[in-house]
Amino acid sequence: MATTGVMRPGHIQLRVLDIGESVHFYKNVLGLVETGRDPQGRVYLKAWDERDHNSVVLREADSAGMDYIGFKVRDRATLEKLDADLRAYGVGTERIPAGELLETGERVRFSLPTGHVMELYADKTDVGNGQPYTNPDPWTPQAEQGIAPVRFDHCLLYGPDLEGNLKLLTEVLGFSLVERVLMEDGKSDLAIFVSCSHKAHDLAFVRHPEPGKLHHLSFLLQSWEQVLRAADLMSMNKVSIDIGPTRHGITRGTTIYAFDPSGNRFETFSGGYDFYPDHQPLTWTFEEVGTGIFYHDRKLNERFLSVVT
Amino acid sequence: MATTGVMRPGHIQLRVLDIGESVHFYKNVLGLVETGRDPQGRVYLKAWDERDHNSVVLREADSAGMDYIGFKVRDRATLEKLDADLRAYGVGTERIPAGELLETGERVRFSLPTGHVMELYADKTDVGNGQPYTNPDPWTPQAEQGIAPVRFDHCLLYGPDLEGNLKLLTEVLGFSLVERVLMEDGKSDLAIFVSCSHKAHDLAFVRHPEPGKLHHLSFLLQSWEQVLRAADLMSMNKVSIDIGPTRHGITRGTTIYAFDPSGNRFETFSGGYDFYPDHQPLTWTFEEVGTGIFYHDRKLNERFLSVVT
Amino acid sequence: MATTGVMRPGHIQLRVLDIGESVHFYKNVLGLVETGRDPQGRVYLKAWDERDHNSVVLREADSAGMDYIGFKVRDRATLEKLDADLRAYGVGTERIPAGELLETGERVRFSLPTGHVMELYADKTDVGNGQPYTNPDPWTPQAEQGIAPVRFDHCLLYGPDLEGNLKLLTEVLGFSLVERVLMEDGKSDLAIFVSCSHKAHDLAFVRHPEPGKLHHLSFLLQSWEQVLRAADLMSMNKVSIDIGPTRHGITRGTTIYAFDPSGNRFETFSGGYDFYPDHQPLTWTFEEVGTGIFYHDRKLNERFLSVVT
Amino acid sequence: MATTGVMRPGHIQLRVLDIGESVHFYKNVLGLVETGRDPQGRVYLKAWDERDHNSVVLREADSAGMDYIGFKVRDRATLEKLDADLRAYGVGTERIPAGELLETGERVRFSLPTGHVMELYADKTDVGNGQPYTNPDPWTPQAEQGIAPVRFDHCLLYGPDLEGNLKLLTEVLGFSLVERVLMEDGKSDLAIFVSCSHKAHDLAFVRHPEPGKLHHLSFLLQSWEQVLRAADLMSMNKVSIDIGPTRHGITRGTTIYAFDPSGNRFETFSGGYDFYPDHQPLTWTFEEVGTGIFYHDRKLNERFLSVVT
């Protein structure tokens, strides 16, 4: 099989400070589609072009941040195998029963060395993208409400043990290292970008003393013109923009970073190259990290390095 | 491993009527980079952003068309396994020694039920995309010569036994069915689009009485604006345009079809959605095939169905 | 004064076969804004970014076509002067009283040598573009309903006496010849493109035996990506597309031609160059008229030359 | 006549610190075309799509800045009339003989109340845009060298007496006020944007204690994608970027500000709306000036207000 194992980031559970304000933001400004609410009060959303029932789950809490990120695997046999592989590798796993998240099958939950909670699952109900499976249109006017990304794409996470993450993700879960940023020592990694697919990154990590932090979750747009439209909609809606529109040197994507009403940073981006696992990784030296992150400004802003949730 | 088995279309050997005229066209108009010539007189080219040594190999011959299409597999162990799997399935395979194509390892060659020659290989020399592996720019002005696609992307092939192809490609080689077009009977396939990756198609086939025919080989551009630029460059260079710029309903890509100097149809396209193997296939009914192929014209032109090489 | 005399095409009165169907089309598919209806049953519309009360006036009639096109002039003194100039030139003019068209001042009406009715007027109520005149946003989500052009831009009209039109428009009304297409004789004009502004055309004429015919009215979009979106929306709404997306050689615009429900051809286009009256005109020879009209197809289709209303 | 009087900014003479370095920058990075050098050592350049012989004239000097900006007027009679009008208004004018600038006719030079030197002229040799006047292509690959704007478009100038400029430009030279930014007092202007054409600005002024300063000269690109390409080329060439890519609220243009090797700020921008002189001006309150200038950041950076040459 050509695509096996871990397929893609399928859901993220986000902590938000005010569920009503957040739902308004994620639906009407970002343009996700609400697909359900559960008895715990969690609100389920998906990007219009995603077929599975949910990708962003909002949970009201006292502090912002990410509860966990879940990756969809190829099938249930893969789920069982990867659970066994994780345990064999020495990672403790926990089973979350099917249905704990709406329309989502059993999940295998574990912690990454950086302190982030990651999940694997094989089943989530296909609710379609609003178009029939026969003779579909490429999009519909309903797909243009708000910023309207096509999918939840990846996360950048901050935490201390990048070496542990890289080893676990590549040796057990089949990820590949795509790009890396070196520290001043020219050896250890300040940041790593890893892929379980043909995307230039499905996950990325930056070294940071505090574990388990979220730098940003990212949503895919279809063109640089859609990135401009997103920036315009952010200004119309008084969304706090961190930086952009600009381009990343790393992954080549064109991007905006901004903050949701709880202070969670999110990205709306477009483009970037396709990765294949026979590609040798790209390396960014410490001196060029600014250009790597923000190709036009060629320097980091302080917020990029310090503001996380 | 998340990406295993067959990875991508890696090379195509094309028959052209006049090697000099063709090299001029593929280099200066299409904007591929020449990477070598061999003692047989074959000319090797690659798209600027491809890292492997070659993707388009031109061979002078009395008739236009495709000699074979080669897919790169994950590694040599995969190559051996897939060769064994093919033989176990009943497909005769042939070994082409390393070096028969420049900078390319041993190939496993076989015929598809539609009469097309397909190859698998694990090794082709990484010559890079003209940028360093450390602190690369996203592109360089050298990447803007001619139409300058980022990669050879896929082929659409014409032949009789689509059922045989679909079975072989999905059961032995790990491809998935992404979209299909039904015939008048509402059951059998007029066309199938299959993927071994996250692309909406790595190969496609249309039912046709004569085996082994090439409808088009396709090159990826990075935006709809680049599609316009490609069309402009075609007109400046008096390239025969078949249709476009327009959009496909199938795969959603934006596209131009045109002909190389030998009459081989090629496509320069952009966009389309990402496929994952848990996606159920899309189906186009016979009545809507025009809209599926050319979303704006909503009808096929006669050339699309009859002109192949 | 730097901009004087005739400023721009300000309104067109179109004959449509079914007013209800047409209003639906112009509002919901093309995305104009309805601004009023009058006791005669005429329906008034404007593009979202136009500030004046109306630009497209629909009148139900037994045959499709254009009743007249009106140009806004700089002020009332200009209107009086141009009326006098027209009469001095030998053109009979008629005064249409203020208010005959909603929110529109007195009009000076006359016939062009090609048999088209043209009007001049100085006043039309500024109703704004939906944004305040203080601290406006560049656009609003309300501006994205339907194809949503920014303005009614120009017309291409068919009729016999191009020489008479060119003389009248340039000598009396201050237009400039921007581009011309020559006939087989290499001397007389098959088509002329004239401007009263910095646009590459405010009006264009093609030689045709029957006077007073409409080839198309045209609406301006803001990018080539919006041209694609327009084509997609046309297909979603089963609008009959004549040709496109493509580029014109003449004026360089990127374009789609399509038909309204009554068979009136309209264009949605983007781009093209800015004209200044010190520019010498561009000439297209008869042999290259196909490339001039459709830069990618490089030939005319029969519809372009024969279907008018 | 529909376009009369002052037509457009036609040339700017810039002071640069090192002529060799500057010529390299303006030719190879910005992508202007060199059209001549004169005995004084001045270097003449034009944007590829401009037809007149020169638009940017570089003069080596000890300090950066603008010597003067020249506007082309409709014809020689207009030049004489405007000279007389200026003198009648009380503005001293000086005649610069034809040929003092290469391929440029006699110029009428005077000072604006803000201390900037402005010129009017009627003649500059038409050297074409590299395409024939018969059957031209819309662009050619030669037009893609460097950032390659289509024209020198406008300047933003800093100086004290905005009221004087506005009165002179509108009452004598036929400009219109398009947009204005108010100061804290809600009455006087912090900035004014004026047009002699259909452009949203041909000139702009910001109130500043020191007279005669240049904030930026601006070059027009053809799309937002070209703005991204410009930013990428700036980074590849280590050009100091001030801000962008982003959008202006004022004029709606999409933009990058950057610095030439001498510290002269320049802009490469795309888009914006078309102005007509019957449009009432837009007003920006002091509180929203940040959004007006940089629509996404919604605040000014210190450099914007203080760094001028």
How far from each other are the two terminal CA atoms of chain A, in whole angstroms?
38
Task: Look at residue A256 and tell me if it is in a domain.
Answer: yes
- Which residues in C lie closer than 8 A to residue A138 (C-beta atoms)? 232
Is residue B306 very low, low, confident or very high in pLDDT (cuts 50, 70, 90)? confident
CA–CA separation, D217 and C283 (whole Å) = 33
Whether residue C164 lies inside any domain: the answer is: yes
pLDDT in tens, A218-268: 999 999 999 999 999 999 999 999 999 999 999 999 999 999 999 999 999
Q: Which residue among D231, D234, D247 sits closest to A231, beta carbon to beta carbon? A: D247
The count of other CB atoms within 10 Å of the CB of residue B1 is 19
Looking at C115, C144, C173, the residue that finishes a domain is: C144
Mean pLDDT of chain A: 96
Chain B residue nearest residue C241, CA to CA: B297
D238-257: per-residue pLDDT in tens?
Answer: 999 999 999 999 999 999 99
pLDDT at residue B2, as a whole number: 66
Range of the domain at D55: 6-125
Last residue of a domain, one of C117, C144, C171: C144
Mean pLDDT of chain C: 96
Cβ within 8 Å, pair C232-A141: no
Q: Residue C34 sits in a domain of what CATH number? A: 3.10.180.10
Task: For residue B41, give the 3-state DSSP assignment.
Answer: coil
Half-sphere exposure of C88 (CA within 13 A, CB side): 9
Mean per-residue pLDDT of chain D = 96
Query: How many contacts does B have with C, using Cβ atoms within 8 A?
Result: 49
**Closest C-alpha among A169, A207, A200, A196 to residue A282:** A200
Average pLDDT over residues A133-156: 95
Looking at the fold, whether C18 and C118 belong to one and the same domain comes out as yes
pLDDT tens digits, residue range A90-119?
A: 999 999 999 999 999 999 999 999 999 999
Task: Indicate whether A118 and A187 sit together in one domain.
Answer: no
The pLDDT of residue A185 is above 90: yes
Q: CB-based contact (8 Å) between D254 and chain A?
A: yes
- Calpha distance B250→B295 (Å, rounded): 8
Residues of C in contact with A140 (CB under 8 A): 236
Q: What is the mean pLDDT of residues A69-78?
A: 97
- Residue B144 is assigned to a structural domain of this protein: no
pLDDT of residue D1 exceeding 80, the answer is: no
Search chain B and give the residue with CA nearest A150.
Answer: B273
Which residue in C144, C223, C232 is closest to A138 by CB distance?
C232
Active site annotation includes A198 = no
- CA distances, B263 to each of B17, B147, C26 (Å): 9, 18, 43
pLDDT at residue A129, rounded to an integer: 95
Residue B145 lies in a domain: no
Tell whether A281 is covered by a domain: yes
Q: Which residue has the higher pLDDT, D101 or A306?
A: D101
Whether A88 maps to a domain, the answer reads yes
Q: Which of C151, C219, C241, C214 shows the shortest CA–CA distance to C15?
A: C214
**C131 and C155 co-located in one domain:** no
Tell whether A280 is within 8 A of chain B (Cβ): yes
Q: Which residues of A173-209 are buried (b: 16+ CB within 10 A; e: fewer)?
A: bbbbbbbbbbeeeeeebbbbbbbbbbbbbbbbbbbbe
Mean pLDDT of chain B: 96
Q: Are residues B297 and B164 in the same domain?
A: yes
pLDDT at C141: 87
Same domain assignment for residues D256 and D118:
no
Do D137 and B225 make contact, defined as CB atoms within 8 angstroms?
no
B225-256 residue pLDDT tens = 999 999 999 999 999 999 999 999 999 999 99
Q: Say whether both D107 and D157 belong to one domain.
A: no
* Catalytic member of A53, A154, A208, A215: A154
Q: Which residue from C72, C151, C283 is facing D133, i.e. has the nearest CB? A: C283
Residue A86 lies in a domain: yes
| Residues 6 or more apart in contact with residue B130 via CB below 8 angstroms | B33, B48, B140, B142, B143
On the question of pLDDT at D87 being above 60, the answer is yes
Q: Are residues B282 and B207 both part of a single domain?
A: yes
Assigned domain for B29 exists = yes
By the 10 Å C-beta count (0-12 exposed, 13-18 middle, 19+ buried), A99 is classed as exposed
Average pLDDT over residues D171-195: 97
Task: State whether residue D134 sits within 8 Å of chain C by CB.
Answer: yes
pLDDT at D2 over 90: no
Shortest CA distance from B223: residue in chain C? C225
Same domain? For A190 and A234 the reply is yes
Same domain for B52 and B21: yes
Asked whether the beta carbons of residue A236 and residue C137 sit closer than 8 angstroms, the reply is yes
Q: Which residues of chain C have pLDDT under 70?
A: 1-2
Tens digit of pLDDT for each residue in D3-26? 789 999 999 999 999 999 999 999
Measured at the CA of D224, the angle between CA D220 and CA D229, to 5 degrees, comes to 85
Angle formed at CA D308 by CA D302 and CA D309, multiple of 5 degrees? 160
Q: Are residues C106 and C208 in the same domain?
A: no
Number of folded domains in chain A?
A: 2
pLDDT at position B237: 97
Identify the three-state secondary structure at position D192. strand
Residue A91 and residue A157 in one domain: no
Residues B246 and B170 in one domain: yes
CA atoms within 13 A on the CB side of B1: 14
pLDDT digits (tens, 9 = 90+) for D29-48: 999 999 999 999 999 999 99
